[in-house]
Structure 1
Amino acid sequence: MRDFQFPGRSPVRATQAVAATSHPLATLAAIDMLRAGGNAMDAAVCAAAVQGVVEPQSTGIGGDCFVLYCPKGQGDVLAFNGSGRAPAGATVDWYLDKGFNELPKQGPHAVTVPGAVDAWSRLLQDHGRKDLAEVLAPAIHYAEDGYVVQDRVAFDWADPEIDLTADEHAARIFLPGGQAPKAGDIHRQPELAATLRVIAKQGRAGFYEGAVADDMVRRLKELGGLHSHEDFAATKGDYVSPVSTAYGGHDIHQMPPNNQGLTALLMLNVLSGFKLGGLDPNGAERLHLEIEAGRLAYQDRDRFVGDQDQVHVPIKQLLSGAYADRLRAEIHRDRAMTHLPRLELPGSDTVYISIVDRDRNAVSFINSTYYSFGSGVVGPKTGVVLQNRGSSFRLDPAHPNAIAPGKRPMHTIMPGMATRNGRVVMPFGVMGGGYQPFGHVHLLTNMIDFGMDPQQALDAPRVFYNDDTVEAERSVPTAAIEGLRERGHRVVEPYQPLGGGQAVLIDWDKGTLTGASDPRKDGMALGY
């Protein structure tokens, strides 16, 4: 139990259902959907659509999504890959011939075809009770009538690194009066509202065909993009098999490659050989072991992860106990490794949603346009912000993540699901671009090894190894920072908090749910 004399929040406890998101309007929309007879999948898509309006820097219908879902909380965990692909005309040779050394972070060549709307439509059809029109209604309302800009959204919107002026349509919509909205301002997106109405009426085809697709393709071609109407029309998500590992009596499930979820499993396998529970949860030794396990796992992510439809990823070998032993042997408790290549792991803006309903349908749902406002390219008539997932591709033809026609890029957004004895224990996720595997592992070990409840586990101080430095939040104890420096780590304070997350814990014996939402974002958990 937390100390009530300190700032913080308690977890949300309920019996019927809990929804947790990074925005209060999205959480409320999810709860309203559940109370109106919808299930966890209806509520998740509804919340994601709302967040695409009220958190426009983080997500939207111009992005991708991944979903882990367990009907009635028992049996197999289903996984849906709703990530988009490179245009059919995108080849390594085309970019090299044009003088590109890497894929740009913004502009048309950073854009992969959005997969979110196709995924939403398919998931509702297969697992929901409501149709797109009902599920999208709250998002249409906020886009049309306006919404109040929340504090963390305003903080992200005003990030000086975001150049919304590079695209006149982005500037018109997202810099009203020539500046980013401030916390408490009301913002409207009428073009997006009209687009959502088309999708609500026509379904998936309303986005990938017809006037909406015309607007996006025309704008991309104006800017030099390779996208075609055929690329959009051909977009289709897939059910895939999760990748999993055992940790602390739980089975931890992640999306398979092209997703980076494998990275978290590698970290857990390495850490399973250390007795973390006997350490100070905020002490230097625990944080050092987490950092070193992460450095090893990310090295393998960058070596092996690509689109399994086009390349082989040695998943079985990477998740073997023998491989974990080999990696673990490289870690020293008293000093940082010096032989690993440099890691550069950009952050991103993403939304994560965790929902369990009265039937114990459990959904772990993540949706993103990657960097703040994605590629910066906005459909002039549709108001669609297009993602920049293509920037993750490589231009080395021998690399498993090299760009190719119809290929999916290595993807950072990763929903998680913990099960035990064939039943769901917790859908969970921690957003934040490259930080996400660290975040998943930190949350899980906080709970499994240190006995924290989900809210305590999300509240806890965080570190992240990036670009040869350890980023340590201000809440990390001074003694821990000094202990990391003594081990050879260069420690700095990050510009912004590390990630954000949500989780819903199921207690099958008591018949209760415990929800939590990260204080680093604007959101909350609600239940009834």
Structure 2
Amino acid sequence: MKDILEEGGSVVDGAIAALLCTSLMNPQSMGLGGGAIFTVLDRMGNVTIITSRETVPKHFQKDLLKNCSQSNFFYTDAAWIGVPGEIRGYELAHRLYGKLPWAKLFEATIRLARDGFPVPLYLGNFLSHPFLKRKIEKSSLCDVFCNKNRTVLQAGEMLRLPALANTLSTIAEQGADAFYTGQIASDLIHDVTAAGGTLSLEDLRSFKAEVMNPWTLPLGDHVLYLPPPPAGGAILGFVLNVMKGYKLNPSSVEGAQKTLTYHRYVEVSKFANGQRKMIRDPSFSSGKNPNWLIKEEFAERIRKMISDRATHSPEFYNATPSMDRLGTTHVSVVAADGSAVSVTSTINHIFGSMVYSHKTGVILNNELADFCGYQNRLSAGEQPPSSMAPAIVYSKSKKKTLAIGGAGGTMITAAMAQTLMNHLWFGKNLTDAIGAPVIFVDANNTVNPEKHFDK
């Protein structure tokens, strides 16, 4: 990414190059078989959202959501695959904000995929996990992540991705259409169909990335720009808007005040869990615009419901248990001219559907699992709800820009909210704000302090 910026590339050029490289380093979390959300601030101060989240295929399995289960953490069936949008997102972002040639952004990643590289420690930890190891060795992923003895690679062993290198080369030369209408598309559908998936050439041909206006939330001297539903910006905005009303400052995390502050935060997080079911693709929702989630009137109502001396049963918060997702990758880039981009990408669960396309080198998502716990029916073309919330915080008066996001499914909200609270209200510098331990309230409203959190 640094080389791209030094050669005159834009922040979006740098982000795309970084994401392509990350798809090799962290293939368990993101890649060409997934989808992404960009939040872009141009040098004039204008903010745009670009979304290329996966969508429900036209011929999806009608009773798929009957297979949702709280006890099933891995949805590794091809039926859960959504229409990949990653490359269409890159294409649109580059068309609007790119400076360098499209092919230039792919060069380093293609070389790396073809020449090979040592398995990174982070990827190696997933490959060596006993449960994942068994699943990988029994899946098509073994063809890329196993040695000749059909045993998964260890950290430090060489990993080569020739099929993916060929796919990337073709996309670099021919553009995004090569993935959605060319031979790559045909090869991808062949492999997905063989695995039992419902994805079709028609699904790929009809996929379009979208440009959207951001939701905005004033935070003192700053404005927070968020992606609208079905992304997770509404939930992040809800948490921060309620907490803002407590007039937080550095003394709020000292002595007895610290206990009260985090009690309130935990209670707000429980209410946030109860609101997640309101997040749906607006094109498929008959309800009113959920922007009331970040309105001051609603925040005040929630604050009045919070007791400083008590907690309540899950029904009080209107919480609906659902699975807490892992996965995703986030990239933030800020340039000297004031422009910035915050982008989050995912294939959903770890290694997505665990369906590997031998012909293309692409690992497919299991994005339809994101409907579990939130909806009881699917609609073709619908984007699933998400916790992804790539955001930009901008202060015109202070000439300060912060591009922020996170990875880890529903843990994204907790990490981003507490980082912003630490930095904007509690007086921590950015390094300390990011590094501070956090509290995560899971989908069952269980409070999980991170290791080293001061209890």
Query: CA 1:323–1:427 in 2, change beyond 3 Å: closer, same or farther?
Result: same
- Spell out the pairing of 1:450-469 with structure 2 (5 A cutoff): 450-466=426-442, 467-469=444-446
- Spell out the pairing of 1:29-178 with structure 2 (5 A cutoff): 30-72=1-43, 74-90=44-60, 94-95=62-63, 100=67, 105-162=75-132, 163-168=135-140, 170-176=141-147, 177-178=149-150
- Spell out the pairing of 1:285-300 with structure 2 (5 A cutoff): 285-300=260-275
**Structure 1 residue 388 and structure 2 residue 366: aligned?**
yes
Query: CA 1:45–1:444 in 2, change beyond 3 Å: closer, same or farther?
Result: same
The amino acid across from 1:182 in the alignment is: Q
- Spell out the pairing of 1:208-247 with structure 2 (5 A cutoff): 208-247=180-219
How many residue pairs get matched? 440
The amino acid across from 1:269 in the alignment is: N
Q: Deviation at 1:99?
A: 6.2
Q: Deviation at 1:408?
A: 0.9
SS at match of 1:178: coil
| Match for residue 335 of structure 2 among 346, 357, 364 | 357
**CA separation in 1, counterparts of 2:146 and 2:436?**
35
**Structure 1 residue 260 and structure 2 residue 236: aligned?**
no
Q: 8 Å contact 1:166–1:376 — kept in the other structure?
A: no
| Match for residue 471 of structure 1 among 426, 448, 452 | 448
**Structure 1 residue 433 and structure 2 residue 404: aligned?**
no
Q: Deviation at 1:185?
A: 2.5
Q: Deviation at 1:86?
A: 0.8
SS at match of 2:321: coil
**CA separation in 2, counterparts of 1:43 and 1:56?**
19
Query: CA 1:290–1:158 in 2, change beyond 3 Å: closer, same or farther?
Result: farther
Q: Deviation at 1:295?
A: 1.2
Q: 8 Å contact 1:140–1:196 — kept in the other structure?
A: yes
SS at match of 1:46: helix
**Structure 1 residue 446 and structure 2 residue 422: aligned?**
yes
2:282 corresponds to? 308
**CA separation in 2, counterparts of 1:117 and 1:243?**
24
SS at match of 2:189: helix
CA RMSD of aligned residues (A): 2.2
- Deviation string for 1:104-124 (max 9, x for gaps)? 822212111111101111211
The amino acid across from 1:112 in the alignment is: G
SS at match of 2:45: coil
SS at match of 1:385: strand
SS at match of 1:431: coil
Q: 8 Å contact 1:174–1:180 — kept in the other structure?
A: yes
Q: Deviation at 1:374?
A: 0.8
Q: 8 Å contact 1:85–1:409 — kept in the other structure?
A: yes
**CA separation in 2, counterparts of 1:80 and 1:101?**
29
Query: CA 1:408–1:424 in 2, change beyond 3 Å: closer, same or farther?
Result: farther
- Deviation string for 1:315-365 (max 9, x for gaps)? 332222111111112222233232333533413122111111232221111
**CA separation in 1, counterparts of 2:451 and 2:254?**
16
Query: CA 1:416–1:179 in 2, change beyond 3 Å: closer, same or farther?
Result: farther
Q: Which runs of 5+ in 1 are unaligned?
A: 1-29, 481-528
SS at match of 1:153: helix
Q: Deviation at 1:59?
A: 1.0
**CA separation in 1, counterparts of 2:66 and 2:307?**
43
**CA separation in 2, counterparts of 1:151 and 1:335?**
43
**CA separation in 1, counterparts of 2:181 and 2:416?**
37
Q: 8 Å contact 1:107–1:375 — kept in the other structure?
A: yes
- Shifted more, 186-195 versus 158-167: the winner is 158-167
Q: Deviation at 1:34?
A: 0.7
**CA separation in 2, counterparts of 1:429 and 1:47?**
15
SS at match of 1:471: strand
| Match for residue 372 of structure 1 among 350, 353, 368 | 350
Query: CA 1:88–1:222 in 2, change beyond 3 Å: closer, same or farther?
Result: same
- Deviation string for 1:154-206 (max 9, x for gaps)? 223333343223423x1110233434433333211111111111111111111
* Percent of pairs with identical residues: 25
SS at match of 1:142: helix
The amino acid across from 1:404 in the alignment is: S
1:406 corresponds to? 381
- Deviation string for 1:34-72 (max 9, x for gaps)? 111211111100000000011111111111110011111
Q: 8 Å contact 1:79–1:239 — kept in the other structure?
A: yes
The amino acid across from 2:225 in the alignment is: H
Q: 8 Å contact 2:48–2:212 — kept in the other structure?
A: yes
**CA separation in 1, counterparts of 2:400 and 2:138?**
45
Q: 8 Å contact 1:395–1:403 — kept in the other structure?
A: no
- Shifted more, 310-319 versus 384-393: the winner is 310-319
Q: Deviation at 1:262?
A: 0.5
Q: 8 Å contact 2:270–2:445 — kept in the other structure?
A: no
**CA separation in 1, counterparts of 2:413 and 2:67?**
30
Q: Deviation at 1:468?
A: 3.6
Q: 8 Å contact 1:342–1:468 — kept in the other structure?
A: no
- Shifted more, 304-313 versus 260-269: the winner is 304-313
SS at match of 2:282: coil
**CA separation in 2, counterparts of 1:413 and 1:147?**
29
**CA separation in 2, counterparts of 1:49 and 1:145?**
15
**CA separation in 1, counterparts of 2:388 and 2:295?**
24
- Shifted more, 143-152 versus 114-123: the winner is 143-152
**CA separation in 2, counterparts of 1:107 and 1:43?**
34
Q: 8 Å contact 1:306–1:313 — kept in the other structure?
A: no
Higher helix proportion: 2
SS at match of 1:353: strand
- Shifted more, 439-448 versus 462-471: the winner is 462-471
**CA separation in 2, counterparts of 1:235 and 1:449?**
41
Q: 8 Å contact 2:322–2:372 — kept in the other structure?
A: no
**CA separation in 2, counterparts of 1:143 and 1:153?**
15
**CA separation in 1, counterparts of 2:138 and 2:80?**
14
SS at match of 1:358: coil
**CA separation in 2, counterparts of 1:99 and 1:83?**
23
**Structure 1 residue 280 and structure 2 residue 253: aligned?**
yes
The amino acid across from 1:430 in the alignment is: G
Query: CA 1:175–1:89 in 2, change beyond 3 Å: closer, same or farther?
Result: same
Q: Deviation at 1:135?
A: 0.2
The amino acid across from 2:92 in the alignment is: R
Q: 8 Å contact 2:321–2:373 — kept in the other structure?
A: no
